[in-house]
């Protein structure tokens, strides 16, 4: 996969704070800074099995009416990164402390899941 030509999806600087658990900081070629928690990235893992999980949850959430008994929240420690390695020059692969390591986060994907409201509007608003 080539580096995206879109400067909004090209990283100018990437810092992955594995040992401190602080998450990932990326400054994009267009000057926009993004910060991602590892827990957030774990939830947004783009691999096939996590995609399936998310779809299942979305379907279940659609079925569950307000009268259905709420699921007890299971205690789950916040996942952190065990290791993170660059994949070529287009992605990073993160292994999480919950044992999951299949997720390859392309910079393209990372920019589109930037948690800030600007990117939510730009990349995730319906019909955009």
Binding status of residue 12 toward Zn ion by CB under 5 A = no
- For residues 3 and 119, which CB has a smaller minimum distance to Zn ion in the complex? 119
The 36-55 site mask, x for binding Zn ion (CB under 5 A), equals ---------x-x--x-----
Using CB under 5 A as the binding rule, whether residue 92 contacts Zn ion is answered as no
Using CA atoms, how far apart are residues 24 and 43, in angstroms rounded to an integer? 14
Are residues 98 and 90 in contact, defined by beta-carbon separation less than 8 angstroms?
Answer: no
**At closest approach, how far in Å is the CB of 3 from Zn ion?**
19
Sites of contact with Zn ion (CB under 5 A): 45, 47, 50, 102-103, 114, 116, 119
């Amino acid at each position: 996969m080539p580096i995206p030509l879109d400067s909004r999806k090209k990283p100018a600087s990437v810092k992955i704070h594995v040992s401190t658990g602080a998450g990932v900081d990326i400054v994009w070629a267009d000057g926009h800074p993004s910060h991602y928690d590892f827990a957030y990235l774990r939830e947004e893992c783009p691999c096939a099995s996590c995609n399936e999980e998310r779809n299942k949850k979305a379907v279940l959430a659609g079925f569950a009416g307000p009268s259905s008994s709420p699921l007890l929240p299971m205690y789950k420690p916040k996942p952190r990164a065990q290791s993170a390695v660059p994949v070529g020059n287009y992605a990073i692969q993160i292994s999480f402390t919950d044992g999951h390591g299949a997720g390859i986060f392309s910079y393209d994907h990372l920019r589109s899941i930037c948690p800030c409201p600007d990117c939510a509007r730009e990349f995730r608003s319906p019909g955009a």
